[in-house]
Amino acid sequence: MNPFTAKTVQLIRSIPEGRVMTYGQVAAAAGNRRAARQVVRVLHSMSAAEQLPWHRIINAKGGISAPADAAGKGILQRDLLEAEGIVFREDGTVDLEACRWFPPDAEME
């Protein structure tokens, strides 16, 4: 497992309940702001681990990018977020300005 992946996992695991981060933001906080796609790759391989709150990762538009069956079992990412208190707008996006979380110990470039 490379450093980026490790940092990414650690970062995602540290996102508090009721908060979200964008792919690009996680990538930047993990050290490589152009690695949004690698963040996605991490989620692909780690989504099975319940420890990883993959649902708290949304796209830069504040919407859900994951396919409906990402969690399997018919669980929707949106449901998981709403269960944590995150409010969605009519268009299915969240208020990033209000819900986005900035990791305290991340080294933003």
Partner DNA sequence: AAGATGACTAGGT
Partner DNA sequence: GACCTAGCCATCT
The contact set with DNA (CB under 7 A) reads 2, 5, 22-25, 32, 34-41, 43-44, 47, 54-55, 57, 59-61, 65-67, 70-71, 77, 91
CB of 104 to DNA, least distance (A): 20
Between 9 and 66, CB nearer to DNA: 66
CB of 84 to DNA, least distance (A): 15
- Tokens matching residue 63: 């919407």
Angle at 24 between CA 15 and CA 34, to 5 degrees: 135
CB of 27 to DNA, least distance (A): 8
- Tokens matching residue 50: 């319940």
